Structure 1
Amino acid sequence: MLMKKWIAALAGGLMLASAAAHAQTVGPQGETATPSSSLTLSDADIAALKDKGYKAALLWHTSSDFTNAVTAGATDEFARAGISIAVKTDAQFDAARQRSDIETALAAKPNVILALPLDPVTSAEAFRQAVKDGVKLVFLSNLPKDYKQGTDYASIVTDDLYQMGKQAADAMAKAIGGKGKVGYIFHDANYYVTNQRDQSFKKTIEKDYPDIKIVAEQGISDPARAEELANAMLLQHPDLDGIYVTWAEPADGVLSALRGAGNT
């Protein structure tokens, strides 16, 4: 019977930065997180927003259960405040397409944009016109390079990244009995969210689980290459007990590689 391989994947939860996150999770420029529970809209706030004809745009760079859930929550809250959704887009990990999506959104003259930027460098230029137009920008999980809060954007929302990585490590350790060899597929890009989660997983394994060794490391920037990279990792290390993957989409490819190698 072939040894069962375990995979730990982070898909990005919906629990926004909590009070427990303060000690470890920080913003892209080292900011201390503010718990989402401290941000509320009173009935007076809602009344002040209604009947003003405000419009919003939701600009994502990928489709996933995570972005679908964020879209649903944002849509419900905007509806409560009388704000219509003028544009919803998915750039599918294409920087040029995201820039085009921003231009499309600006043509609809939104008052606010909720966006998941593709990467700090390309998005800095892509969102510049929105800043010039005075559109309120709220970013999800990533920040354009050199943007300043209060000047260029209103806020950034993310998760308890440290805990997500730590809990993935804890789950991996439990699954393989606290000892063994694991592979580590991390996001090879300047993307603060995945970088923090990946590093938290690795540090937790190294610090808390001395009998677990990370024997193979591989960066990934294109989720479509996950199966190819996992196949190469398994070829070099057929005795792996588990593989960590940076988020859900590339994890699908790793699962395909595991099944193809006869693992269950």
Structure 2
Amino acid sequence: MQDKGRDGPAPSPFAGESPSAQQAPAVAGLGPHGERPATPDQIDLSPEALARARTGGLRVSIVLHTITSDWSRRQIAGIEAELRRVGAVVDDVVGCSYDASTQVAAIERVIRRRPDAVISIPVAGAAVAQAFRKVSSAGIRLILLDNAPSGLLPEMDYVTVVSCDNFGLGQIAAGLLSPHVPQGGAVCVLAYKLDFFATAQREIAFNRWMRRERPDVALSQLKFERPSEAGAVIAPHLDRHPGLDGLFVVWDEPAVESLAVLEGRPRRPVMTTVDLGAGVAAALAAGRIVKGVAAQRPYEQGRAAATAAVASLCGHAVPPWIVLPGLGVTAGNVAQAYEMVGGAPTSPERLAVGRE
């Protein structure tokens, strides 16, 4: 995986502040082909395009790596809300259980249904690339979320990639973990084994930030293939390294799987992760192990992806890399941030109760 990100000032952890009062950090990362980021407001639909979309009977299929995570549910909700606004419909929603062969079969099945557009997050790179290439070859607009499979090109094979700033998320997570790691401490990165642009960017940015800002810290790495395996991966590492001080997990599902292992240890390393799902938000509010989260904005990302699909179908040019900045979340602002990224309004007290 090539390093397409760039260094920049470490984003502020925003400790104790309300997300609505924060200024969004500048986007730190570039696209899968080095594209400069565009913002979602650059694809707002004109009244003429809206009118055209509402009379077109547009159908959009959604094919995700999973449909059970909080991130996925929020993404789907954002897509559906935007499509309803413009009079389009969701033709199908498919989850692929993080399995490349399942996703290849799903994509081929969706192509036979002939929707006007497909919005999808590929579960891997080369393993699914050929199936995704068939989407545009069939005359169907393809909007990608977070990840562009190896060899696929914008305009030729897909319209755009809509993503959070994954390089920035890695920087945020490093900045949130650092104050809780002692001088000369040890930190492990629990990374995704498959070829996946978004998580690779987080990993690169986290490591680069730590080496620049905390050269005293010893870094190690572990990899999992499915989120459910994360606990089994981290447990033997803790047996060998009981003095581990910190852990960065590249997204919240494997982070929650790891929490069960960490909580059973007499000495618990602190953790940061990416994505503010209910489980990790509750752990952050409780303040025992999780000390910070670099949150995406999945509901807004979903709306942006739907807008990009409709704009492309109406003949509008769409930037090839559309990005939203991440949000640094601590125990002090977790309730507000949870609502902001698409969860139900709640309080730190209710989040803490949810963990018990």
Residue 232 of structure 2: aligned partner: 228
1:122 and 2:122 matched: no
Residue 30 of structure 1: aligned partner: 34
* Structure 1 residue 89, shift from structure 2 partner: 0.4
Counterparts of 2:183 and 2:131, CA distance in 1: 46
* Structure 1 residue 220, shift from structure 2 partner: 2.2
Spell out the pairing of 1:39-118 with structure 2 (5 A cutoff).
39-63=43-67, 64-118=69-123
Letter in 1 for 2:221: E
Residue 252 of structure 1: aligned partner: 256
1:20 and 2:26 matched: yes
1:176 and 2:188 matched: no
When the two chains are superposed, the root-mean-square deviation of aligned CA atoms in Å is: 1.8
Residue 261 of structure 1: aligned partner: 265
The question of whether the paired residues in 2 share the 8 Å contact of 1:19 and 1:34 is answered with no
* Structure 1 residue 82, shift from structure 2 partner: 0.9
Counterparts of 1:223 and 1:158, CA distance in 2: 20
1:238 and 2:242 matched: yes
The question of whether the paired residues in 1 share the 8 Å contact of 2:182 and 2:245 is answered with no
Letter in 2 for 1:58: I
* Structure 1 residue 19, shift from structure 2 partner: 8.3
Counterparts of 1:217 and 1:162, CA distance in 2: 18
Counterparts of 2:78 and 2:72, CA distance in 1: 10
Letter in 2 for 1:71: I
Give SS of 1:151's match.
Answer: coil
Deviations 1:182-235 (A, max 9, x none): 222122332111111111011111111234332x32122232221111111111
The question of whether the paired residues in 2 share the 8 Å contact of 1:57 and 1:110 is answered with yes
Distance 1:19 1:203, change over 3 A: closer
Residues paired across the two proteins, number: 244
Work out the percentage of aligned pairs sharing the same amino acid: 27
- State the TM-score, normalized to the length of structure 2: 0.65
Counterparts of 1:256 and 1:115, CA distance in 2: 31
Deviations 1:103-132 (A, max 9, x none): 332232200000001112122111233222
- State the TM-score, normalized to the length of structure 1: 0.86
**1:206 paired residue among 184, 207, 211:** 211
Pick which of 187-196 and 110-119 moved more.
187-196
Query: Unaligned 5+ residue runs, structure 1?
Result: 1-17
Residue 7 of structure 1: aligned partner: none
Counterparts of 1:162 and 1:61, CA distance in 2: 20
